[in-house]
Amino acid sequence: MMALPGRASLALRLVSLFSAGSAIIMALVGYTLYHALGMQLDERDTAEINGKTEVVQHQLAAIPRADALAEHVGKLREITVGHPHLSIGLRSGSIWLLPPQPLVRRAIQGAALPPEGRIVTLEESGTRWWVRRITHHWATPQPASLDAYVAVEVTESQRILHSHRLVALLVVVLGTLFSGLLAYFVARRGLAPLHQLAAQAELLTAEQLGAPLDVERAPGEVRGVVESLNRMLARLHESFRSLEQFSADIAHELRTPLNNLMLQTQVTLSRPRDADSYHEALLSNLEELERMQRMVLDMLFLARADRGMLTLQRQALDLRAEADSLAEFFELAASERHQTITVTGAATVWGDRLMVRRALTNLLSNAVRYAPLEAAISITLEASASGASVTVSNPGPPIPPNELQHLVTRFARGDDARSRDTDGVGLGLAIVDSIIRLHQGEMTISSASGHIGVCLRFPAYAA
C-alpha cells in the first residue's frame, strides 16, 4: 500500500487505513466462503457420480453373460429418468449400445479414452460434464468386455460459484465504501475536540498567551500534547512578559542619562559661556555617555551569552590569587567607606579567567557600593570533591525569600539602592549568573542573620 502524503489530514489517513483494513478482511472472508462453497459443491457432485457409478456396476453385475446385455439396456436407461444432468453410455468396441449425451459422445469419440475409474472434465460451449469410465468383463460362455460411461453435468455448480464470486466482489466494493463513510463519520466525530482546540488556539494573541488550552476536552491520545502546548504557552507568556518588562526597564534606564544630557546641553547653550564652562559641561556629558556605554556593553554581553555566542578560554584558575588581587583593587574604594575586605580559603577551578574575574568584580563592586559604612566584606573560598565555591558576603538588611531570585532579573536593584546616588543599572548580578551558567555552575543568593551572601558554585576540577 502506498504511503499517504505527509500533508494528508489525520481523518483522511484514518479513513484510508480503516477502509483498506475492511476491504482486506471482507476479501479474505469472501475468498474463504467461496472456497468452502466450491468444496461443498465438488463433494456433492462427486458423491452423485460415485453413487450412479455403483448403480451401473450393480446392474452390469446382474447380467449373467454378454449376449444378454441387450435385454438389460432398458434398465440402464431408466437410471437417467428424472435426472437431466445425468447421462449413461455403453460401448462395446466402437459400437454404442446406449449412446450418452451428445457432448459426452463427441468428446469421447474425438479423444483418447479416459483412464478407468478416474473422473475427467469435458467442457464445450459453456457446458461442463464430469465423466467416469468403468469396464465390465464376462468370462463365460465367451470372454467379453464392455465400457460404461457415467457423466454428470456440473454446469450448475459452476454457475453457482460464478454468481457467488460476483456477489462477493460486490459486497467487498460496497462494504469498503460503506466502511469508508462510517470511518469518516467516526473520525470526524472523534477529531471534533481537536478542531475545537484549533479554534481556541486561533484566538490566542500575545496578550492571551497565559490562557491555557482546554485539556479536559482533548482526547486521551493527544492530552499529553495539549499539556505540552500549555507549558510552551506558559513559557512564551513568561518570555513575552520578561521582554516587555525588559523593554520598559531599558527605556527607564536610558531616560535618565538622556534627560541629563539634554538638560545639561540646553543649560550650556542657553547663554554664552567661557571655555572652562564648556569644558566642564562636556566632561559631565562624557560621564553620562560612559554610563550608557557600560549599560549597552553589558546588555550586549547578556544577549551573546543567552544565544551561546561566547567561547570560554578555560584554564586552571587559582581563585585565591584572583580574590586577593581583586580585594587589593577594591581596597581604596572600601577604605573611603571605612569598610574592610577579607579573603579566606583556597580553591582551583577550570574556567575562563577574564569572565571569572568579571563575575567576582561585579560581586565585590555591589558589596562595596551597597554595604553600610564600616562593614566587613568577606570572600570565602571552599573546595570539595563535588566542586569549588566562592561566596561574597556583606552586612545588609534582610531580603524576603520571594525577592531574592528577583535580584538576578535584569535591571533589578534593591529598594534601598534605588534611593542612593549610584552608578548601577541592575545588570551586575544578571551578568554574574550568565557567567556561572556558562561554566556549568550555579549561583545562589541568601539573606540571613543580617548578612547577604552570593555564592558561586563551580563544577569539580580534575587536576
Over residues 335-346, the pLDDT tens digits come to 999 999 999 999
* Mean pLDDT, range 359-386, rounded to an integer: 91
Say if CB 126 and CB 153 are below 8 A apart.
no
pLDDT at 338: 92
pLDDT at 412: 61
* Mean pLDDT, range 16-45, rounded to an integer: 89
How would you label 263-276 residue by residue, b for 16+ Cβ within 10 Å and e otherwise? ebeeebeeeeeeee
What is the identity of the amino acid at 424? G
Over residues 387-406, the pLDDT tens digits come to 999 999 999 888 887 777 77
pLDDT at 418: 39
Strands of the 119-124 sheet, one edge to the other? 95-98, 86-92, 144-153, 127-138, 119-124
pTM recorded for the entire structure: 0.51
Residue 376 has pLDDT above 50, yes or no: yes
Nearest Cα neighbor of 447 from 370, 382, 373 is 370
pLDDT at 463: 58
Residue 367 has pLDDT above 80, yes or no: yes
pLDDT at 462: 63
Residue 2 has pLDDT above 50, yes or no: no
Backbone Cα Rg of the chain = 52
pLDDT at 112: 57
Give the residue with greater pLDDT, 5 vs 359: 359
What is the identity of the amino acid at 248? A
pLDDT at 381: 94
If one counts every other C-beta atom within 10 angstroms of the C-beta of residue 354, the result is 11
Over residues 118-163, the pLDDT tens digits come to 888 888 777 888 888 888 888 766 777 888 888 888 888 888 888 9
pLDDT at 423: 55
Q: How confident is the model at residue 331 (pLDDT cuts 50, 70, 90)?
A: very high
If one counts every other C-beta atom within 10 angstroms of the C-beta of residue 104, the result is 22
Judged by DSSP in three states, 262 sits in: helix
Mean pLDDT of the residues in the chain: 82
Residue 383 has pLDDT above 80, yes or no: yes
Sign of CA dihedral 276, 278, 284, 287: negative
Over residues 405-447, the pLDDT tens digits come to 777 776 665 554 433 444 555 677 888 888 888 888 999 988 8
Residue 114 has pLDDT above 80, yes or no: no
* Mean pLDDT, range 272-284, rounded to an integer: 85
